[in-house]
Amino acid sequence: MWFKDRDVGISTEFLSKTTESQKAYLNSLELRTVDSMKKFPFRRIPRRVPQNQNKKVKRKEYRMLSDEERENLNKAMNALKSKFIDNVTIWDLHTLIHYPDSAPGAHWGPAFLPWHREFLRQFEVALQREVPGVALPYWDSTLDNGLPDPSDSVLWTDELMGNGNGFVKTGPFQDWDTNVLMPLSPVPVKKLYRYTGGRSTDRLLSLGDVDWIISRKNYSELTFCHDKTFESMHGLSHVWVGGFMFVIRVSPNDPTFYMHHAFVDYLWEQFRQNQQTRYQRERDYARKICTKQHSFYAPMKPFNLRNKDGLSNDYTDFWYEYEPIRHCTEDQPSCDTKYLFCDKRVWRCRSKVQLGGNCTGFSLSDICYKSFCIQGVCRLPATEGNGFQRREKKQSGVVWMKSIMLTDDDEPLLSGIAHVTVRDEDGSEALTYVQRKTEYPEVPGLVYLPLPHPREGSPYTVTLEARDHYGRYCQSYCFNETVERYQICEPKLVIKSRPDSQSSNMSFTHSFVSRKFLDMDLSAHPSMWSVHTPFMVFACHRKMINSAQIMSISEDVKPVIDRTEYVWFRVNVLKKGNSEVDIDESEIEVQDLDDPTDSWISPIRRARSAYDQSIVFVRARNPFVFRRGVSVRISIRNKSKRLKCETRCNMGSTFEDYCENVVFLHERASRSQEQIFASDPSYLQLLGWKMSGHPNDWSLRMAYLSFYC
């Protein structure tokens, strides 16, 4: 269930270093003096209603807000996040007082409900100071429970709360910094982060949960020391949203926290209205409290109140009231907002599903937001996804990097309009798409990223934004070599010509032709060639990733054994220090020892590698066709005369020994002297290279045979 975090070091430090300005701000939200509490400790002193609040506000379900109301709310929340009091944002001040050291009676007991009622009221007052009249909405998660996949709810879109699958990169709260690293994360995360419904075992509050809560007969049945049922139920949605919401002390970093707790407060208010008189609402309390911090008269730390004050009728008399959702009926078969639809099977409004979401079982309903339910998916008719048009632009002066885009179950995303936007430090953008067709060694779902060409001593930082064919945000994951798995990472790359601790460990090349060989090992026998999954991949779904499944995408790509008649391999031809031989004017000859009629001769100048003048490519019959193996004798000729060159054979990574000028090729790696050969001429310049990681870390396996002339 809900993780009970006990790491309170940060709040301890905060309490000891709170400045006078910060204390003054927090005290101003209470509008009640400490003296009055000391003078009348056992009497309820009505809290003074602020002059700027002429009427109490109405808290609505978030999706019921008008566009103007939602805009004002977002404006107020972003203002709290951007304004500082002595180097701490106002938003973070509210988060810090939610820590266990600041609020020892806020959780795991009957004071949970009154403490959070006051906490929300103060936060709402803070919002109203930024935008007068704004009200804190609630998130009724039962509207999402019952969808085929609640994480597909329209709530988690750019238009409303932003994406829920990883770093929050869309919507009104995109790229928010947090006041602390995200607990339980294997990598440092200090940006707003969620994984809504990422684990199949988690769920949201249900109608059954709500019925249980509002049908309790007294406060002791609702929440008490040894059976914190309501508090545990509220934890369901915390865990389901995940990320910062998963852990008690840091959960207010996410705006979802306040809307979820407003719903919890609304459910409590329904219980109060249904089961208690006005007198009972302020007097009825749990009998078993376990710890003194949860007693009726205990101080409601860090506020200048007592726990009993949180039971006051003043909250809903003077400050706010809740507006319930009008659910659809046979007489009124519609809902009052474009974000909800009427489920006529139960005559109840539910959240609509975003484009690309799962609508299985609702094909005859209006479940899809701005789309239609077609074959169990919310789609736009006659389009591949969201109607986005693929417009490719030729890139120049860049280096290329591979990535993969993934869809449900970490399968490759094959849509040709799924794309990644690359933004460099200068603000320029490049758009690149998933490859419609791939050929070995390319993998399905492949996208080539054009990146700035790194210069010596000048690092480049680029940010990436991946979207699937429905326009939904895709979260980036980077491969960690230490633990050999993919982990969450920001969609950002640091490119340097020489790798260091700050640079990204990805393969890249300036060659458009050679880019398909990135993340590939060509330093082995063709039967053992392997393709590695790229450093960064993009998951365009809402579930926890499976690293083994992602890596298997590349592992499942096997080389196609070419049955053409000939293959190419390398030999080294070097000039001795005191030699007068003109190698540039020499020729290389290959004679098949099993077929004397098969002979190949070429000028060395023409057969040389474009990158290494000592490497010469030679031709022999294909051992995958001539399966007994192919033996060839290789000679160097100058003016029709064979040169007496010294020949050495590579017996290991660095060791050479004298040998004959004969090479044996076989379809089995264990029997072949020269391991590295290929039938496709496009492979030749990269034969022997293992191109994983930064180019400075690439390794080259030497040719088997070397001539010293």
Between 682 and 14, the more confident residue is 682
Specify the DSSP class assigned to residue 125. Answer: H
Q: What pLDDT is recorded for position 49?
A: 42
CB atoms within 10 A of CB 603: 14
158-172, 486-500, 654-668 — which one is most confidently predicted on average? 158-172
Of 115, 155, 354, 151, nearest to 242 by C-alpha is: 151
Q: What pLDDT is recorded for position 542?
A: 87
Across 523-532, 581-590, 650-659, least confident range: 650-659
Q: Is 148 exposed, middle or buried (0-12, 13-18, 19+ CB in 10 A)?
A: middle
Q: Predicted confidence band at 532 (pLDDT cuts at 50, 70, 90)?
A: very high
Q: Predicted confidence band at 5 (pLDDT cuts at 50, 70, 90)?
A: very low
Q: What pLDDT is recorded for position 3?
A: 44
Question: Taking a C-beta distance cutoff of 8 angstroms, is the pair 169, 193 a contact?
Answer: no
Angle formed by the axes of helices 112-130 and 229-241, nearest 10°: 50
Cα 74–Cα 78–Cα 82 angle in degrees, nearest 5: 170
Distance set, CA 573 to CA 278, 415, 473, 635, 656 (Å): 98, 47, 53, 10, 14
Q: CA-to-CA distance for 662 and 670, rounded, in angstroms?
A: 17
What average pLDDT does this structure show over 385-402? Answer: 85
Q: What pLDDT is recorded for position 16?
A: 65
Q: What pLDDT is recorded for position 59?
A: 98
Q: Is the pLDDT of residue 9 over 70?
A: no
> Which tens digit of pLDDT belongs to each residue from 273-317?
999 999 999 999 988 887 899 999 999 999 999 999 999 999 999
What average pLDDT does this structure show over 532-538? Answer: 96
Cα 154–Cα 158–Cα 163 angle in degrees, nearest 5: 75
As a whole-number percent, the residues of the chain with pLDDT over 70 amount to 93
Residue tagged 């101080």 (tokens): 299
Of 636, 629, 613, 619, nearest to 681 by C-alpha is: 619
CA 595 from chain centre, in angstroms, equals: 59
Q: SS3 of 537, please?
A: strand
Domain layout of the chain by residue ranges: 51-322, 398-555, 566-708
Of 372, 314, 329, 377, nearest to 47 by C-alpha is: 314
What average pLDDT does this structure show over 599-613? Answer: 92
Q: What pLDDT is recorded for position 230?
A: 86
Angle formed by the axes of helices 207-214 and 255-275, nearest 10°: 50
What average pLDDT does this structure show over 153-159? Answer: 97
Q: CA-to-CA distance for 476 and 480, rounded, in angstroms?
A: 13
- The reported pTM is 0.90
Architecture in CATH of 51-322: Orthogonal Bundle (1.10)
Could you please report the per-residue DSSP string of 408-423?
Answer: GGGPBP--TT-EEEEE
Q: Predicted confidence band at 52 (pLDDT cuts at 50, 70, 90)?
A: very low
Q: CA-to-CA distance for 183 and 2, rounded, in angstroms?
A: 13
